[in-house]
Amino acid sequence: MSSEDFPGWHGTTIIGVKKGGEVVIAGDGQVSLGQTVIKGTARKVRRLSPGGAEILVGFAGSTADAFTLLERLEKKLEATPGQLQRAAVELAKDWRTDKYLQKLEAMLIVSDGAQIYVITGAGDVLEPEHDVTAIGSGGNYALAAGRALMDSDLGAEEIARRAMAIAADICVYTNGSLTVEKIKA
């Protein structure tokens, strides 16, 4: 089977919502290979504690690639305690310039409660304009739903859960098996 014939891994919707003094990152559990669901309960949202700081991370893309990036991010955070933005920028620079890292296919949403960023392999460190961001195959659906719910009386967790439910109803690579982590600002 040639690489063109290989159906490719799909899956993952991750959303980050900042509202009411907290940040919530939620992710679904589906991993698909072509049209087959390989796993429905993958855990793509994690809590890191480099140097005692609480950091939430959600990832979309290749799992092995994402774990490589999580390890690098943790090292950057240990080198720059309490400076999430600086650690994120340093990771993005390495990711863009290192020949090994350039091949990694993943995206990250990271937060320390005060800040929330999307980090990409193109060297981007993006802070959402409307305190909601999403990545992955169902990311655009979750983002649209999350933005629509931001003006409601709902808290960050309920917005994330409802947005993920909408994404799961639309995107065949997203399911309703959620991992939800939250952190206070």
CATH of the domain at 118: 3.60.20.10
pLDDT in tens, 105-160: 888 999 999 999 999 888 899 999 999 999 999 999 999 999 999 999 999 999 99
SS (H, E, C) the chain: CCCCCCCCEECCEEEEEEECCEEEEEECCCEEECCEEEECCCCCEEEECHHHCCEEEEEEECHHHHHHHHHHHHHHHHHCCCCHHHHHHHHHHHHHHCCCHHHCCEEEEEECCCCEEEECCCCCEECCCCCEEEEECCHHHHHHHHHHHCCCCCCHHHHHHHHHHHHHHHCCCCCCCCEEEEEEC
Tell me if 182 is assigned to some domain.
no
Whether 145 is in a domain gets the answer yes
The answer to whether residue 185 sits within a structural domain is no
Q: How many domains does the chain have?
A: 1
Q: pLDDT tens, 63-96?
A: 888 888 889 899 999 999 989 999 999 999 888 8
* Catalytic option among 12, 13, 133, 174: 12
In a domain, 180, yes or no: no
Residue 125 falls within a domain, yes or no?
A: yes
**12 catalytic per annotation:** yes
The predicted model gives 34-57 an average pLDDT of: 89
Instruction: Determine, yes or no, domain membership for 32.
Output: yes
Q: What domain range is 89 assigned to?
A: 9-171
